[in-house]
Structure 1
Amino acid sequence: MTELDFEFLCVFLKTRSGLALTPEKRYLVESRLGTVCKTFQLDNLSGLAMALKGGRDPDLEKAVIEAMTTNETFFFRDKSPFDLFQNVLLPRYLAARASTRRLRIWCAAASTGQEPYSLAMLLSEAAARLAGWRIEIVATDISTDVLEKAKAGLYNQFEVQRGLPIQLLLKYFTRVGDQWQIAPQIRSMVDYRPLNLIKEFGQLGTFDIIYCRNVLIYFDRPMKTNVLTRLSNMMSVDGVLLLGAAETVLGLTEGLSPDPVNRGLYEKIAQPIAAPRLTVSV
């Protein structure tokens, strides 16, 4: 792969997915896209770059993006965002939405579904307090492959051992061969939809709680600002955003402010503002 090929692939990925790659990530491109070359019978990454420039194979474009997308996740990942949901956010909105009895939650970059299903199980555990409520969990991801796995709700032994309390495993999962499948009533609580965060997502509507964790770290500063601004515009007046431990809104948007008590929680503070335009092209 020549330097020009690498530069093209970097621009292609940034334009299509927002992924910002540095020269130090060249090894990652070579290792992950090498598999794509074999699948599509391309000799090397230079051949892959040439095929992408032709722009005539949407399956190839999809495979490149899927290969470079990081889908690391597990049940109740980092624990504190879920403790926060259970002990702070749910009680807060039960009081604030007592008249409408409606709550909307969005899990962006939901990957194989462990995050939204973790929230769904917490809601199921609180079912007695939620009688008569309409609660929506929308889960999105750029990868249609991981969304299909999420919809199926099938996980191997390693996946259910990562963060999932044994009592919830026994209560909400059934053994299917050498895998575990989450209960139909939990699967039905989550609406999975394909979505690219760098593209328009206003059609999803307004949300009270947005989980967008561990995805902004892959974007450059202008893209982070753009996405965060659009996220804030989709939040209800008293809506909140939860980011990953290594992410922040500081210096990136005027529409969100850190919660003074709860780390990783951000509140809406401004009227809708225009997101800066991005001009990346390939």
Structure 2
Amino acid sequence: MIKVGYLIAYDYHYVFNSLPHIYSYVDQIVFAIDINRKTWMGNDFDIDEDFFEKIKNFDLDHKISFYEDQFYVEGEKPIDLDTRERRMLADYMGHNCWKIQIDSDEYCLHFNRLITYLKKNRFLLKKTAPPVNFLPTWISLFKQVERGFFIIQPYHEVFSMVSNKPQYKYARNAHGMDIRINYNVIHQSWARTDEEILTKIENWGHSHDFDVMTFYQKWKDLNENNYREYKDFHPIYKGLWNSLEFVEAKDINELLLKLERRTNLNPVKVSSKLKKMRLKSLFHIKY
């Protein structure tokens, strides 16, 4: 089985951009929501009641379920709570399946090609298989303005999204063998309203790792006239965000259509390392 887990919090509405791209290709989808509506910083958030009605209307195949638990623990660091919630969600999703954790603002274009790749490697779901994590690459959106979107260049920020036996150690990073795959995920990330950006940087797992207000002001000052001046500007990791590209689009849907024409056009390649592992599994050789 292929199961997807979403962490649902203050930016829950973005999930309606994400779900249509993955819904028909997976077996189950689980939404994890803090039962007390608390962020990892302990701040309150609200979810409109019509959200649940919209999900019900969307979920024609009855794939979506809700997992509510206490994910905020007073006195714990936000990043530790991030990791803890992902562990709890993975446990809730069960065993002997592919587990894919997608954030609400992540959009998987040509998702069928990733699913084909997972099916080719179904031997990794055997009890004897080692833990393996597949790492796609983010195409991160940094800001939306009236005429379009700024996109972070180059695309080389990888993240752990798919695991056979996830044992999360730091957010989505998990123990086991990490394998990079030639698959890109659109990350709306910073392309939000002013108010949403403040909420994000004050509540996400890295909120204690950098000067929030300095970064917010730099984001706010960005425009079509000065974006070429933004060089190596990641607030934590040097060399990760080198520059910005501007793509004209009236909204996120138009942008996704444009990116769909140039993203994930080729099948996801199976690495030589996995081919060797598959052969071992056929002959029942220990890894």
Larger of the two Rg values belongs to structure: 1
Q: Structure 1 or 2: larger helix share?
A: 1
TM-score normalised to structure 1 length: 0.26
TM-score in terms of structure 2 length: 0.26
Structure having the larger proportion of residues in strand:
2
